[in-house]
Amino acid sequence: MASQQKRVVVDFYSQTCGPCKMLAETMTKLKPELKEHKATFVKVAIEDTPELAIQFGIMSVPTLKVFEGGQVVAEVMGNQPEAKLRELLLIG
């Protein structure tokens, strides 16, 4: 499992969610920094994989969960400012 070796950022989103689309734009900007820190970014559409949304307790979208060592080390719900996301994802 990738989250055992490095940081994995999972974006739980809905294809019809406005805030999800805004978050996606911000995450596109942050992808080079994530890659530089050897973090993996994964998007999970809750419509396509409802069992994962249930398994991880997703109550609203967008929700970002950050995994390290197979454990959730940080999470945030809703669209967030770029600076807050950078701190959460790269330092968190």
Residue ranges of the domains in the chain?
Answer: 2-90
Q: Is 20 one of the catalytic residues?
A: yes
* Of 66, 21, 22, nearest in space to 40 by CA: 66
Residues 40-49 have a mean pLDDT of 95
CA atoms within a 13 Å half-sphere pointing along the CA-CB vector of 5: 4
The predicted model scores a pTM of: 0.88
Residues 57-85 have a mean pLDDT of 94
Answer yes or no: CATH 3.40.30.10 is held by domain 2-90. yes
| Edge-first strand listing for the sheet containing 8-13 | 40-45, 8-13, 63-68, 71-77
Please determine, for residue 28, whether its predicted confidence score (pLDDT) is greater than 80.
yes
Per-residue pLDDT at 91? 59
Q: Is 71 one of the catalytic residues?
A: no
Active-site pick, 8, 9, 10, 20: 20
Per-residue pLDDT at 6? 83
Residues 20-41 have a mean pLDDT of 91
Active-site pick, 17, 24, 52, 76: 17
